[in-house]
Structure 1
Amino acid sequence: MTSPFAIEEIFPDDTDQAVRLPRRQAGNSPQGLAVTLLADYTVRTRARLPSAALVALLTESGASPTGARTAISRLVRRGVLDGSREGRRSFHRLSREAAANLSAGGRWILTATATTQPWDGYWTLVAFSLPQDRGTQRRSLRGQLRWLGYAPLYDGLWISPHDLTPPVHALLTRITPGAVTVFRAHQADLDTVAGRDPLDAWDVAAIGRHYGSFLDRWRPLLPRVASGQVTGAEAVRTRTEVMDTFRRFPVLDPRLPAEILPAGWLRQPAREVFAAVYDGLARPAEQHVRAVVRRFADGVPDDVRAHTTAELLAGIGEADATETGSCPP
C-alpha cells in the first residue's frame, strides 16, 4: 500500500470548483506554505498583505525569494489569491472562495479527529464502474472519496464506517447515471479464510506508526512552547509545520470506530499535542507576522490575527462560506 501521506492533494481536485488549491507535495512547497500562512493569520479577515511581506515570510520558512514570488503568481492564476496595487506596492489576500474552503477545511480537520461516537456496525459501500476512456474522472472520484474518508476494499468498491453524508451524495450524483450503487450493510462473517475484514481497506498498522511519529516529533517541544521559548520566525515555522502534518490525519484515519481499532489508539493523544503546539504558538506567531507586515506597510496590521483550534472548530469565516456556498466537506 502506498503511504497515505503521499496523497497528492489534501483538498479534492474538483474541476467544478473555481478555486484550485495547490497540490500537497513531499515537503513544504512554496505554494502550500503561502496558503497555510495566509490561512493561519488572515482567513477570518481576508487581510491584504504586502507582497514583499509575504515573500519575506515565505523566505523565513525556507523558500527562495524567486520561488516565493513564483508561488504567489501561480496562486493568483489558480484563483486562490486576489491581487491589487497601491502606487508601487502590490498586495495579495485570499480570494473569498479560497477563504471559505480553508475555513471549512480547518473545521473539518478538527471535527474528523475528535473522539468518535459509538458505532452502529454498519458500513457504507460505494460501488462504481467507469470505462477506460473516463480515466480522469475515475482518478478524480477516487481522490475525492479518499478525502471524504472512504478507502478501497476492492477495485471499484470503496467503503466507510459512516453514513452517506451530503458531500458524498453530491459527489456521486455527478457521476454518469448507472455507473454507481450505494449500500448500507453489516458485514456477514464467512466461515473461511477467504473473507476480508473491511478494516483492511486501511493500513491500520501504518496509521498507528504515523501517529507515533507525530508524537515523537512534537511532544518533546511542549515544554519550550509552554515556557514561551519558541518565538519569532521559529514560532511561525513551527506552527505552519505542525498544521501541515496534522491536517493529513483525517484522510489517514477518517474517524475509524474505536470498537474495531487496536487498544491504545493514538488519535486523541496526537490531537491534544497538536492543539498544545498550535494554540500555544498562536500569540508569538501572530506577533511575528505582524512585525514582518509592518516593515512593508503603513500602520499596525490589526487584521492579521491568529486563531486557535477552538475557534477553528467553532467555524471562523462562516460568512464567506455562506456567501460562496463552496467549501470542503
Structure 2
Amino acid sequence: MTVDLSEADTTVSRGTEPQPRQLIVTLFGLYARGERNWLSVASVVRMMDHIGVDGPSVRSSISRLKRRNVLLSARHDGVAGYSLSQSVLDVVNEGDSRIFGRRRATLDDNFLVLVFSVPESERDKRHALRVTLTKLGFGTVAPGVWIAPAHTEREVREALGRRGLSGYVEMFDGRHIAFGDLRSKIRQWWDLDELSLLYSDFITTHRPVLRRAREGQLSDQAAFTEYVPMLTTWRRLPYLDPGLPIALLPHGWNGVVAEDLFADLNEALGGPAREHALKLIHQ
C-alpha cells in the first residue's frame, strides 16, 4: 500500500491551529521512537487530552492515519497501540536534520537544479513530483525546472527514490553566472511574502511562551502543552524555506529571528515536555 505522506506532514496555513492528526504525528515523532516506535492508544489519548483534544477526535484522527498507512496497529504485551509505518518513520528520521539542525546556504554555495519530464499518460506522477518538490522547499524557475540550495541534494535523492519518482528527473549542480539580478529572481521563484507572514505569525504566537518559560512560569505539563503544538507548526517551515542565503533574502529577513526563537523554545521546553510525556506514556 502506498503511504499518503501528506498525512505525515503539516500543512501551514495562517491563522489556523494544528489539526489533531498533525499533533498525533508529532507525538509519535517525539516520543514513540524511544519506546520501540510504539505508543498505546490510551497514552495517546492522555497526551492529546493535555493538549486540549478530546478522546473522540483523537480516535477519529488515529483511524484516518491508519487508513492512510501512516500508523499501523500493534499490540505490546497485550496492550493495543500503534506504530509509525516504516515509510513514515524514514521521513521523520530524515526530517530531524532539517528541523533541528538548520542549515543555511551562502553565496558561495551552488544550487541544485532539477528538470523533469513526465509522459501525459502518467499525469499522476507529474502531480506527485510537483507536490514532493513543493514540500521539499523547491522554487519554480519554469515549468519542469525547479531549484533549491545544493545542500538539499541527499535529502532530495532519498525522497524521490522513496516515492519511485527518480526515473523522471535529471539533477544538476550549478551556479547563477549571468543575466538578471539573483535577489529579484529568488522573489519570483519562492513566495517570500507568504513565508515571511508565516514566520511573523510564529514569532508573535510563541515569543511570549519563551518569556514565560524563562521566568519559570511553566510547569512540565504546561511546557508539554505548549511544545507539541509549537513543534507541529514549526516542522513545516524549514521545508518551505530550504535555507536560502541570507544575502539573497529581503533585508531584515524575519526567518532568522524565527529560527533563533525555535532553537530557544526547543531548549527551554523540550526537556520538561518529554518528562511530562513519559509520565503519561508509562502511567
> Do the structures match in fold with TM over 0.5?
yes
1:280 equivalenced with 2:268 (yes/no):
yes
CA distance in 2 between partners of 1:18 and 1:217 (Å): 30
Deviation at 1:122, TM superposition (A): 4.3
CA-to-aligned-CA distance 1:162-187 (integer Å, 9 cap, x gap) = 2672343463895586x644443424
- Determine helix, strand or coil for the equivalent of 2:114: strand
- Greater RCO, CA 8 A, separation 6+: 1
The answer (yes or no) to whether the contact 2:94–2:155 under 8 Å persists in 1 is no
- Hey, what does 2:71 align to over in structure 1? 80
Deviation at 1:121, TM superposition (A): 6.4
1:39 equivalenced with 2:29 (yes/no):
yes
- Hey, what does 2:249 align to over in structure 1? 261
User: Which entry has the higher C-alpha Rg, 1 or 2?
Assistant: 1
- Hey, what does 1:142 align to over in structure 2? 130
5+ residue gaps, structure 1:
1-13, 296-329
Deviation at 1:243, TM superposition (A): 0.7
Amino acid at match of 1:209: L
Which structure has more helix as a fraction of its residues?
2
Q: Structure 1 residues 234 and 260 mapped into 2: Cα distance closer, same or farther (>3 Å)? A: same
- Hey, what does 1:270 align to over in structure 2? 258
Residue pairs, 1:203-282, within 5 angstroms: 203-282=191-270
- Hey, what does 1:188 align to over in structure 2? 178
The answer (yes or no) to whether the contact 2:10–2:233 under 8 Å persists in 1 is no
The answer (yes or no) to whether the contact 1:124–1:162 under 8 Å persists in 2 is yes
Which one is further off, 151-160 or 68-77? 68-77
1:24 equivalenced with 2:14 (yes/no):
no
CA distance in 1 between partners of 2:61 and 2:222 (Å): 22
5+ residue gaps, structure 2:
none
Kindly report the root-mean-square deviation, in angstroms, between the aligned alpha carbons of the 2 structures: 3.2
- Hey, what does 1:67 align to over in structure 2? 57
CA-to-aligned-CA distance 1:71-130 (integer Å, 9 cap, x gap) = 33343441534420545x42334455544432221222233x33x343236443323232
- Hey, what does 1:151 align to over in structure 2? 139
The answer (yes or no) to whether the contact 2:114–2:169 under 8 Å persists in 1 is yes
Q: Structure 1 residues 149 and 66 mapped into 2: Cα distance closer, same or farther (>3 Å)? A: same
CA distance in 2 between partners of 1:90 and 1:169 (Å): 36
- Determine helix, strand or coil for the equivalent of 1:160: strand
CA distance in 2 between partners of 1:61 and 1:75 (Å): 19
CA-to-aligned-CA distance 1:9-61 (integer Å, 9 cap, x gap) = xxxxx94x697853535632222211111222232343643322211222332
CA distance in 1 between partners of 2:5 and 2:166 (Å): 24
Deviation at 1:268, TM superposition (A): 2.8
> Which of residues 104, 108, 111 is equivalent to 1:120?
108
> Which of residues 98, 103, 107 is equivalent to 1:108?
98
The answer (yes or no) to whether the contact 2:186–2:248 under 8 Å persists in 1 is no
Q: Structure 1 residues 283 and 250 mapped into 2: Cα distance closer, same or farther (>3 Å)? A: closer
- Determine helix, strand or coil for the equivalent of 1:34: helix
- Determine helix, strand or coil for the equivalent of 1:43: helix
Q: Structure 1 residues 147 and 156 mapped into 2: Cα distance closer, same or farther (>3 Å)? A: same
- Determine helix, strand or coil for the equivalent of 1:197: helix
Amino acid at match of 1:22: A
CA distance in 2 between partners of 1:164 and 1:49 (Å): 32
